Amino acid sequence: MFGIQALLVRAAALLLVLPAGLAAAGAAGQRLVFVADSRRYAGWQAWFTNLYNESLAQFTLLTIVLVPLLALALSSVMGFFLSRTGIDLKSRPGGGAH
Amino acid sequence: MDWLHMTMPIAGVEVFWPGLVILGLGVGIIGSFFGMGGGWMVTPGLNILGFPMAFAIGTDITSMAGNSLISTMRHARFGNVDYRLGAVMVIGTVSGFEAGAQMIMWLESLGHVDLFVRVGYLVLLALIAWVIFTDVQAKRRRDAELRAAGRAASGDEGGIQWHRKFHRLRIPPMIHFKTSGIYCSVWLPIGVSFLTGWLAGILGIGGGLIRLPALIYLIGVPTHVAVGTDLFEVVISALYGCGSYTYKGRTELLAAVIMLCGAALGAQIGAVATKYVKGYGIRLFFGVAVAGCGLSIAFKLAASAFPAARWFFDPAAAVLILGLVVALAGFIVFKFLRGAREEIAMKRAQQRSYVEK
C-alpha cells in the first residue's frame, strides 16, 4: 500500500509541475493569428467578422453568453414537445442505482 | 444546390450546412446517451466537412458546451447527476484542460499538430476499448459462474473493479458522494479529473470519452450516474475550452450555432433512451463506438503514411465514422422509441384498469 501511495504522491507532484512548463511552451503557438476577411461581407456578417478581428475578448464574451442561452431556449422548446408524448421525464426505473 | 452551402465568415471555408445539422443531431443523441460531448466524432466530422483542424477543435468544443448543457438538464431530472463529485472534479478538469490546451498551441507552432492529435486519439481509443471489452468479458464469465452455481446474475458488479483498490487509499481529506454511493479520498477524483482534463485539452475534446470510463473504473461510479455526472463535467470543461479556444481565435461560432439546432433534439432523445437500457448495455456500446472511432483514425494515419493508397483510406475513414454515427444513433433512437412505446402502453393500461375499478 505504501508503495502505491508514494507513487501517487510523485505522480501528483509531477502533474502540479507540468502546467507551468507547458504554459511556458505555449507562448510560441500564440503568435499564430487568424484574420477573417470582413471585406467579403455586409450586414451582420460584416459586424461579426469585424468583432472577431478587432476584439477577441468581446467575441469570446458573445460566444460564452450566446451558446448557453441558445441551449437553454432550445432545450425548453424540445422538452415541451417531448412532454406532450406522455413519457415520464422526471424519473427512471431504479433511479440512482446501477 | 448553392443554397445547401454556406460560407463560414471566420474560417472563410464553404460548408455543406445540412451536414452540420446532421452532425449536431448525431452527436446530441450519442453524446447524451453515453455521457460525453462527442468530440471524437465532431472534430474529424468537421475536418471532413472542410474545416481546418485548428478551427474544427474550437468549433467542436463550443457546440459541445451547449449540447452537454441540454443533456445535463435532462439527466438531472432522472437523478443521474452527482453534483458534489462534479464540483470536486472541476478543480482538476480546468487546470488539466488549460495545461493540455497550452501544449497543443506549442505543438501547432512546431507544425505537427494534426499528426499528434490523431496518434493521441488512436492510442487512447485503443486503450479504452481494450479496458471496456475486457470488463464486459470478465462480467460475462462471472455471470456464467453465478448461473452455474444457481445464483442470480451480478447486475453492474463483476467486471473490472480497479476502483476498490483506489478506495483503500486513505489520503485525507476523505469525502462521501451520496448520489454515487462512494466514500474515498478527495484526491482520487481531483487526480483523475486532472489527468482526463489534460488529455481533453490536448485532443480538443470535452473529456467525456476518457472521463466516463475513468469515473466507472477508477472512481467506481454507477454507470447511469457516471453518464450524468460526466455530462455535468463536460458542460464546465467545454465552456472553459470554448472561452479558451475562442479567445485564441479558433472558433467558428456560426457553425457551432447551426450544430446546436440539431443537437437540441438529439440530446433529449439520448438522455431519455438511458431510461430503457441497463448499465452494462451502455458500457458495451460505448466500447463499440470507441473501437470504430479508433479504426477510422487509423485509416487517416495510414492515408498520411502511404500517400499512394490515400484514394482508399481517406474515403474509408469518412464512411466508417459516418456509418458509426448513423448506426449508434439508429440503435439509440430504436431503444428510445421501443422503450417510450412500452411505457406509454403501460400507462394507458394502468389508466384503463383504474377506470374499470
Other Cβ atoms less than 10 A from the Cβ of A34: the count is 16
Report yes or no: B260 and B281 within 8 Å, Cβ to Cβ.
no
Nearest C-alpha in A relative to B244: A60
- Nearest-Cα distance to chain A for B333, in Å, is 14
Three-state SS at B183: strand
Beta bridge partners of B6: B15
* Mean pLDDT of the residues in chain A: 72
- Nearest-Cα distance to chain A for B166, in Å, is 9
CB contact under 8 A, B256 and A67: yes
DSSP B104: H
Report yes or no: B224 and B274 within 8 Å, Cβ to Cβ.
yes
Residue A65 in domain: yes
pLDDT, position A72: 92
pLDDT, position A13: 52
Q: Which of B257, B235, B37, B163 is nearest to A48 (CA)?
A: B257
Pairing status of strand B182-185 against strand B174-177: antiparallel
pLDDT, position A73: 94
DSSP B172: S
pLDDT band at A66 (very low <50, low <70, confident <90, very high): very high
Average pLDDT over residues A47-69: 92
pLDDT over 90 percentage in chain A: 24
Q: Which of B340, B329, B211, B230 is nearest to B275 (CA)?
A: B340
Report yes or no: B62 and B246 within 8 Å, Cβ to Cβ.
yes
Report yes or no: B281 and B45 within 8 Å, Cβ to Cβ.
no
- Please enumerate in sequence order all residues whose Cβ is within 8 A of that of B22, keeping only pairs 6 or more positions apart, or say none: B262
The total number of structural domains in chain A stands at 1
Q: Is B246 on the interface with A (CB under 8 A)?
A: yes
Residue A43 in domain: no
CB contact under 8 A, B102 and A74: no
Domain that holds residue A71: 56-85
For residue B69, give the H/E element and its range: helix B53-77
Q: Rounded distance, CA B66 to CA B191, Å? A: 26
Rounded to 10 degrees, the C-alpha dihedral B56/B235/B119/B108 comes to 50
Among the partner residues B157, B169, B268, nearest to A4 by beta-carbon distance? B169
Report yes or no: B58 and B246 within 8 Å, Cβ to Cβ.
yes
Q: Which of B298, B274, B267 is nearest to B80 (CA)?
A: B274
pLDDT over 70 percentage in chain A: 59
Q: Rounded distance, CA B2 to CA A77, Å? A: 30
Other Cβ atoms less than 10 A from the Cβ of A14: the count is 9
Statement: residue A23 has pLDDT above 70: no
Statement: residue A9 has pLDDT above 70: no
Is the peptide bond between A19 and the residue preceding it cis, with omega within 30 degrees of 0?
no
* Residue at grid coordinates 475550452: B241
pLDDT, position A65: 94
Nearest C-alpha in B relative to A23: B102
Statement: residue A63 has pLDDT above 90: yes
Residue B163's alpha-carbon distances to B118, B160, B182, in angstroms, are: 29, 8, 10
Report yes or no: B229 and B82 within 8 Å, Cβ to Cβ.
yes
Rounded to 10 degrees, the C-alpha dihedral B343/B349/B355/B356 comes to -160
Among the partner residues A28, A56, A93, nearest to B106 by beta-carbon distance? A28
- Please enumerate in sequence order all residues whose Cβ is within 8 A of that of B31, keeping only pairs 6 or more positions apart, or say none: B37, B38, B64, B67, B68, B71, B208, B231, B263, B266, B267, B270
pLDDT along chain B (357 residues), means of 10: 83 87 91 82 79 84 91 89 91 85 79 74 86 86 83 66 84 89 92 87 74 89 90 85 88 92 91 85 85 82 84 83 85 92 88 80
Report yes or no: B238 and B31 within 8 Å, Cβ to Cβ.
no
Q: Is B279 on the interface with A (CB under 8 A)?
A: yes
